[in-house]
Amino acid sequence: MPQNANLSDVITLISDIKHGKVFSSYEIALRTENLLEKVISEEKWANAKELMQQIKGKIQQVTQSLPLETTATNIMRHILKVIREECDQVSKKKGEGQSLHQLVTADQSEERDYSESHGDLKNCLLDHLTEYKVELETSTENIAAQALEHIHTKEIILTVGKSNTVEKFLKHAAGQRSFQVIVVEAGPLYHGHKMAASLALSGIQTTVIPDSGVFAMMSRVNKVIIGTHSVMADGGLRAASGVHGVALAAKHYSVPVMVLAHMYKLTPSYVCSHEKDTFKMCASPANIIPYSTGPLLNKINVYNPIFDYVPPELVTLFISHQGGNAPSYVYRLLSELYHPDDYELY
């Protein structure tokens, strides 16, 4: 019963996401963080184990209703890791701290018993959460601050569709360097148009090209800078439909592909994972072939996929608020963010 009561806040969050009241991943991240703060400070939990159970329940609820909403689940997983770390630290204070020998000979099957209660666990967690919140809020600026290292004068940058992170990145660099941007339209929703308009307003020289022109223009491009929906555990991307083609063209011309990704976008799941329909998620075909077409529609099936998978070989660099990383390093970042026991929570 207390389980059900706790799920109501998650259900509200899910419903808001579905209704489109919270849209960008940044907003979802902030909402999740608020939710976790409330859980830790207001809900009743006796020890770390109970708290973790509650959070796991929430993760399951979100995964069931919105299998694609990895932002919320990733942040919750990170909090689980933080809880475990705090417990470890407190219990290790009683001992001598983990020596190298202990790390090497540590038995994986040792079940950490998290059922000891700690008085100041709550305060530690809340402190951590405040730090994390600050980190979240400043992550976009931190990424943008690295722009000057990557964008040089007179370069031609290619980007696909609309991404808030990429926009801020480019605008930051435009303050001090002059360069050109080519924006790919990204059908069938053509978000690239809005991106181009916004960039042009800040004085960046922008060109819009259709999706079919990517290969032709790629030989002139110096760098490809894109955002993504999430980063898979192998270093591949789950990005908007059409990005795979751009990445392939870039590979052909050996143009570096840089992906701007916040830490909460790193997902501990792979492509052929348990979430059955993630890459087959399709939106309404009316964006491609209108409903008014007539009897042709009785005979055909139209698919309008939302996401693309980009394999890790096609990505050159991941830029997060901590700096740049190669795709082959993603597994290490994952192990720092999440505890292996929390990878699969279905």
Partner 1 sequence: MSIKTKEVLKDDIVQAVVVADTFGDEFLPISSDIPLALFPLINKPLIDYTLEFLSFGGIEETFLFCCSHTEAIKSHINQGIKDGAEWSLTMKVNVIVSESCHSFGDCLRDLDRKGILRGSFVLLEPGTLSNIKLLPIIRKHNEIANKDKGAAMTLIFQESGIGQMGRDPNEEAVVAVNSSNRILFHRKMGQSRERKIEFPLEIFLDNSSVSLHHNLKDTHIAICSPSVLPLFSDNFDFQTKDDFVKGLLMNEEILGSTVYCHITKGNNYGGAVTDWRMYQAVSRELQNKWIYPLQPSVLRNNILKNGVIVGKGVHIKDNKNIINSVIGDNVHIGENVQIRDSFIFSNTKINDGVIVTHSVIGPNCEIKSKTKITVGSIIGKGVTLEKEHLIEDTLVQATEPENCDPKDKLDKKAFRLKVTGTEDDLGKILSKKLSRLHIEDNRPEESDDDAFSDSEDEELSYTQSPVPDDTKLFFTEVIDSLTRGFEDELRCEHLILEINSSRYAYNVTVREVNFNVIKAILHMSLRLSTGPQYFSQFVRLLSYFAPVLKNYIRNDDAMLDTLQAVEDVAISNENVNEKWVMFVLKWFYDKDYISEDVILEWSKTLDAKSRFYAQVKPFTDWLEEAEEASSSDED
- For partner 1, the binding residues (CB under 8 A) are 4, 7-8, 11-12, 14-15, 18-19, 64-65, 67, 276-277, 282-287, 290-299, 301-302, 304
Q: Which two tokens stand for residue 345?
A: 């929570």
State the minimum distance, in angstroms, from the CB of residue 56 to partner 1. 18
Q: Which two tokens stand for residue 50?
A: 């109970």
Nearer to partner 1, 28 or 259 (CB): 28
Report the distance separating Cα 168 and Cα 199, nearest Å: 9
- Other C-beta atoms lying within 10 Å of the C-beta of residue 38: 12
Answer whether 268's CB lies under 8 Å from 180's CB: no
Nearer to partner 1, 11 or 156 (CB): 11
Report the distance separating Cα 236 and Cα 215, nearest Å: 21
DSSP helix/strand/coil, 212 = helix
Radius of gyration (Cα) for the chain, nearest Å? 22
Nearer to partner 1, 104 or 296 (CB): 296
State the minimum distance, in angstroms, from the CB of residue 57 to partner 1. 13
Report the distance separating Cα 265 and Cα 249, nearest Å: 25
Angle between helices 25-42 and 2-19 (to 10 degrees): 160
Nearer to partner 1, 105 or 298 (CB): 298
State the minimum distance, in angstroms, from the CB of residue 72 to partner 1. 16
Nearer to partner 1, 103 or 291 (CB): 291
Reference 71, options 99, 43, 103, 31; nearest CA is 31
Report the distance separating Cα 255 and Cα 159, nearest Å: 12
Which residues, in sequence order, are CB contacts of 115 under 8 Å at separation 6+?
47, 48, 49
Nearer to partner 1, 14 or 82 (CB): 14
State the minimum distance, in angstroms, from the CB of residue 286 to partner 1. 4
State the minimum distance, in angstroms, from the CB of residue 12 to partner 1. 6
State in Å, rounded, how far the first CA of the chain is from the last one. 20
State the minimum distance, in angstroms, from the CB of residue 62 to partner 1. 13
Nearer to partner 1, 158 or 345 (CB): 345
State the minimum distance, in angstroms, from the CB of residue 222 to partner 1. 37
